[in-house]
Amino acid sequence: MKIEFQRKVDRIFGKLICRVLSVFYRKDKTLPPDHAPKRILIILLSEMGSLVLAHPMFSRLKEKFPGVSLHVLLFEKNRECLEILDVLPPENILGINDKSFGQFVKSCLLALIRMRKKRFDVVIDCELFARISSIYSVLSGAPLRVGFHPHTQEGLYRGEFINRPVLYNPYHHISQQFLTLAEAIDSQTSPRAKRRMIAQEELEAPTIPFGQDEMERMRKRVADDFPQILGKELVLIYPSGGILPIRAWPEDHYCRLARELVSGGYTVGVIGMAEDSALAARVLSFCGEASCIDLTGYTKSIRELMILFHYASLLITNDGGPAHFASMTPIPTIAFFGPESPALYASLDREAVNYFLGISCSPCLTAYNHRNSPCDGDNACLREIPPDRVLEKALEILRNEKRPRPRGLA
């Protein structure tokens, strides 16, 4: 389903359903002091990068409640990312298919049936931007419902049935806020979980191991398909904005950057989905060199993309999934922010370079506008990040003799 349609359905029907459910469900459930939940459902429907940012929360829940059975409700397209993280058994993943409205409705009903059968003790709703997740939380049947709540703030109305309401704080990284949701389960303060914050640099993404055989298959495949790049360092760029094009650094900036890198003796690989091939073709045409290659649709899974990262020297990307996948591999990263802020959504790679100008209207995608920016399409917050400055930083990283070297393709 298109994101505009999802927003419209959420605005028209989501608010009404939340108000109706608030009449029938009370908020005053209490947790006995000696009670530890046995089954927890985590609702995380957003983009795949949020799953990586939620990893510290999964770890904290296991530490806090030893032996707990964790389950996750997500969109089916995000399943692979959660399986790579390996934080729970695959059979504990409840998927929703959002390819069409009909498939969405059918899979929602099936997911609700499965949820009711599980008899969850607690449901943690990690979503900010949609009301559908709060509706799931109450219909799951779990007596304790943890989720973000506006309290005295306007906006973010998601019903009055969250009985472990956590104050959404736009000044804290989302990984920290996910941790607050975990602490809110047995908290008695108001607002819930007045915890002392962990230093952000202490939060890390996991390092994902890969088998030697799958690593070798990727090496041989790239070497066979692109023999012209052997002996050169590979720089990967992700110029697509995904479902939110406003997050993309301008295409002509990527073109100029790619051409300068190729002129400097590096190979540039354009990554993305298969539908990004037209964008990649324009970058390749601008460079006019065989050392600029189209890798859009080349990797068939997130796992393959992460293996490819082991053979590249640098990733330059828009804010989105690739930066978070890269944080679980050795590749250095440069990421662009503007419509959203690295203060909230930077990857858990402490060495990543994040560009954010912080102009007067930035960031503009927030929990208060359902990520629907008022921008007219002139995303000056990204356009004004100059290619020359990015090139200088990229070369500084690439020429740093102390950085770990990628695996060789030759």
Q: d(Cα 362, Cα 345) in Å, to the nearest integer?
A: 14
**pTM for this structure?**
0.91
DSSP state of 379: -
Q: Give 255's pLDDT tier (boundaries 50, 70, 90).
A: very high
Tell me: pLDDT of 280 over 70. yes
Output the pLDDT for position 1: 60
Q: 212-398, what's its fold?
A: Rossmann fold (3.40.50)
The strand pair at 122-125 and 93-96 is best described as unpaired
CATH 3.40.50.1820 fits domain 3-195: no
Going by C-beta distance under 8 Å and a sequence separation of 6 or more, which residues neighbour residue 16?
none
Give the alpha-carbon dihedral of 58, 60, 61, 62, to 10 degrees.
Answer: 90
Mean pLDDT on 217-232: 94
- Closest listed residue to residue 144, CA positions, set 163, 165, 167: 163
Q: d(Cα 184, Cα 178) in Å, to the nearest integer?
A: 10
Q: d(Cα 219, Cα 377) in Å, to the nearest integer?
A: 40
Interior/surface letters 252-291, b for 16+ CB within 10 angstroms, e for the rest = ebbbbbbbbbbeeebbbbbbbeeebeebbeebbebbeeeb
- Name the strands in the sheet holding 292-296, side by side, starting at the edge strand that comes first in the sequence: 292-296, 267-272, 234-238, 314-318, 333-336, 353-355
Q: What are the residues facing 69 on neighbouring strands?
A: 39
For 172-194, write each residue's pLDDT tens digit: 999 999 999 999 998 888 888 88
Tally of residues, the chain: 410
Q: d(Cα 342, Cα 326) in Å, to the nearest integer?
A: 16
Asked if 315 and 236 count as a contact pair (C-beta separation under 8 A), the reply is: yes
Tell me: pLDDT of 68 over 80. yes
The H or E element that residue 293 is part of is: strand 292-296
Per cent of the chain over pLDDT 70 is 96
286 φ/ψ angles, rounded to the nearest 5 degrees: -65, -40
Mean pLDDT on 221-244: 94
Output the pLDDT for position 19: 78
The H or E element that residue 6 is part of is: helix 3-9
Amino acid at residue number 176: Q
3-195 with 212-398: one CATH topology? yes
Mean pLDDT on 196-205: 89
Tell me: pLDDT of 340 over 80. yes
Q: d(Cα 125, Cα 140) in Å, to the nearest integer?
A: 11
Residue 313, CA distances (Å) to 25, 83, 233, 248 in order: 53, 26, 6, 22
Domain ranges of the chain: 3-195, 212-398
- The answer to whether the bond into 322 is cis (omega within 30° of 0) is no
Residue 21's Cβ-side half-sphere holds a number of Cα atoms within 13 Å equal to 23
Mean pLDDT on 314-340: 96
- Looking at per-residue pLDDT, the higher value among 352 and 376 belongs to 352
Residue 102's Cβ-side half-sphere holds a number of Cα atoms within 13 Å equal to 0
Output the pLDDT for position 370: 77
Tell me: pLDDT of 28 over 70. no
Q: d(Cα 297, Cα 299) in Å, to the nearest integer?
A: 6
- Name the strands in the sheet holding 144-149, side by side, starting at the edge strand that comes first in the sequence: 93-96, 69-75, 39-43, 122-125, 144-149, 164-167
Mean pLDDT on 96-104: 85
**Exposed / middle / buried, residue 156 (Cβ in 10 Å: 0-12, 13-18, 19+):** middle
**Exposed / middle / buried, residue 23 (Cβ in 10 Å: 0-12, 13-18, 19+):** exposed
Rg, the chain, Cα only: 22
How many other CB atoms sit within 10 Å of the CB of residue 343? 17
